[in-house]
Amino acid sequence: MDAQPLAVGIIGCGNVGRILAEKQNTFRITAAYDCVPGCALDFSARFGAKPLTEFAELLAEPVEIVVEAASVSAVREYAIDVLRSGKDLIILSVGALADETFRIELLGEARRLNRKIHVPSGAIMGLDNIRIGQVSSVDTILLRTTKNPLSLGIGEPETKCVFSGTASECVQRYPKNTNVAVSLSLACGCDASVEVWSDPGETKNMHEIIFSGEFGEAYIRIRNNPSSGNGATSRLAALSALSILENLKNPLVIGA
């Protein structure tokens, strides 16, 4: 007999939510909340999830895990209540965890309630081994992100470094483009260095990771296709969340 599909709730019925719904297999999105009622209704009409226009309704739904696919502000507003309702959580807007006070409170609640918070690899690869920074010495952890200026919301006509600093500083300047930087820092256990480059000739979202330490040296380059509905978001980000959902009930755990 086939296992019962994992019941999933979602916060945010936009581009990422649609990708997850289109590819659901071992899970089912049964409840969908969006602060814009029309978005939840459209999502329901297309994918069959119960449309919710009040967040409290989502907390009452019999889902096992909730996917946040909305915004940094949505994480801050809803994440703790999701855990307190007895549900695990997948966070895509990882930039919210750059706020140390909020992060400590959120993780404290997760420990107290014995709940899990999953952070997908997002638009990069290799977070599983970047975690060795938590148990060994690190010399360099640098993220260099290059995007078309339109994706960055600027009008820079030439290739130019528009930011250089730490991940925690970058989230203040480019909150919609720093989930990768914060994920990298959380995985490594230290505040990663970040460069953001604007390149009018770049048609994809490119991330380069330079990592060195006790283990040796690594260089990773990813050139992502932007999501069709949102040029600032890489399709890989949605697919990495999809991978978590599809494997939650898999008894074989690889690289996590």
250 marked among binding-site residues:
no
Set 28, 87, 147, 207: catalytic member: 207
User: Nearest 5 degrees, angle CA 138-CA 93-CA 204?
Assistant: 80
Alpha-carbon distance of 225 to 202, in angstroms, equals 11
207 is catalytic: yes
123 marked among binding-site residues:
yes
Distance of CA 83 to the CA centre of its chain: 17
Query: Which are the contacts of 196, defined by CB distance < 8 A and separation ≥ 6?
Result: 145, 146, 147, 152, 161, 162, 163, 164, 170, 173, 174, 177
| Nearest residue to 24 (alpha-carbon basis) of 2, 48, 1, 41 | 48
Residue ranges of the annotated binding site are 123, 179
**Catalytic residue set:** 207
- Residues at the annotated binding site for NAD(+)? 123, 179
